């Protein structure tokens, strides 16, 4: 399998999703979509808190870091290589979202803003959301500076997301935990243990920008609805 599947999302009918490994490139993604008669929607990702609600394939890639739709036949895609990919599904109203959360987007609370967009536009009850997190850089590998820690503290994140790294002004940051916190404060119920929380920096099956320094190698995470 060229992509990982989340157990909770895999139980939802007429839904397709996955977190691609590094052997699932953009060509593979396009072929995957074509075979299933899905139309992929990609973003021009800018490490922002900008959420796009879409009902068709936009003529140009929207600038932003989260996509939301309730339209069957669209495949929402985010690209990562250390950042956290998140896939959300409102089971009751059948609304899906894909989020790219690096530290900047996380600090700007892109996850909470995506849930808010689903509420405002579609009437989503956060209690109906199933959320899955894909592989991202793990806390043992993600060293950040005092500047990053200060930005999070001033945005009212708890300091225990940062563990001193043993060198002055350096901390290990738990990116996945910072986003899990946002899901909880948005009212999204905790799922079963994800089992996907592989560190892409440690695992050679995944791309890692910090490890490989490639400006173009990214992994593709995707979610889309089929017509029932």
Residue from the set 22, 52, 100, 201 that interacts with Zn ion by CB under 5 A:
201
50 contributes a contact to Zn ion by CB under 5 A: no
202 contributes a contact to Zn ion by CB under 5 A: yes
From edge to edge, which strands make up the β-sheet containing 66-69? Answer: 51-53, 66-69, 95-101, 84-90, 129-133
- With contacts defined by CB under 5 A, how many residues of the chain interact with Zn ion? 5
Select the span of 51-59, 65-73, 114-122, 139-147 touching Zn ion (CB under 5 A): 139-147
Nearest Cα neighbor of 224 from 3, 12, 62, 8 is 12
Residue from the set 138, 139, 173, 174 that interacts with Zn ion by CB under 5 A:
138
| Backbone dihedral angles phi then psi of residue 45, each to the nearest 5 degrees | -80, 135
**DSSP per position, 116-142:** HHHHHHH---GGGEEEEE--B--TTT-
- What's the min distance (Å) between Cβ of 202 and Zn ion? 3
Select the span of 89-97, 119-127, 138-146, 214-222 touching Zn ion (CB under 5 A): 138-146
**3 state DSSP class of 218:** coil
Select the span of 83-91, 93-101, 116-124, 133-141 touching Zn ion (CB under 5 A): 133-141
Binding to Zn ion by CB under 5 A, coded x per residue (else -) over 92-131, reads ----------------------------------------
* Cα separation, 205 vs 210, whole angstroms: 15
């Amino acid at each position: 399998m060229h992509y990982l599947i989340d157990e909770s999302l895999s139980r939802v009918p007429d839904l397709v999703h996955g977190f691609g490994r590094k052997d699932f490139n953009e060509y593979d993604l396009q072929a995957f979509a074509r075979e299933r008669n899905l139309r992929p929607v990609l973003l021009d990702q800018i490490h922002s808190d900008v959420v796009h609600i879409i009902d068709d394939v936009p003529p140009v890639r929207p600038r932003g870091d989260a996509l939301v739709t309730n339209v069957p036949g669209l495949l929402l895609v985010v690209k990562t290589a250390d950042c956290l990919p998140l896939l959300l599904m409102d089971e009751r109203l059948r609304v899906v979202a894909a989020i790219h959360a690096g530290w900047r987007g996380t600090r700007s609370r892109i996850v909470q803003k995506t849930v808010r967009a689903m509420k405002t536009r579609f009437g989503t009850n956060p209690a109906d959301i199933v959320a899955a997190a894909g592989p991202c850089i793990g806390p043992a590998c993600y060293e950040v500076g005092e500047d990053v820690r200060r930005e999070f503290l001033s945005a009212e994140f708890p300091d225990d997301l940062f563990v001193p790294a043993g060198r002055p002004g350096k901390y290990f940051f738990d990116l996945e935990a910072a986003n899990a916190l946002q899901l909880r404060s948005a009212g999204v119920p905790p799922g079963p243990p994800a089992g996907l929380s592989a560190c892409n920096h440690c695992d050679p099956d995944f791309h890692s920008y910090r490890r490989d320094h490639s400006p173009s190698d990214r992994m593709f995470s995707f979610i889309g609805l089929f017509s029932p």
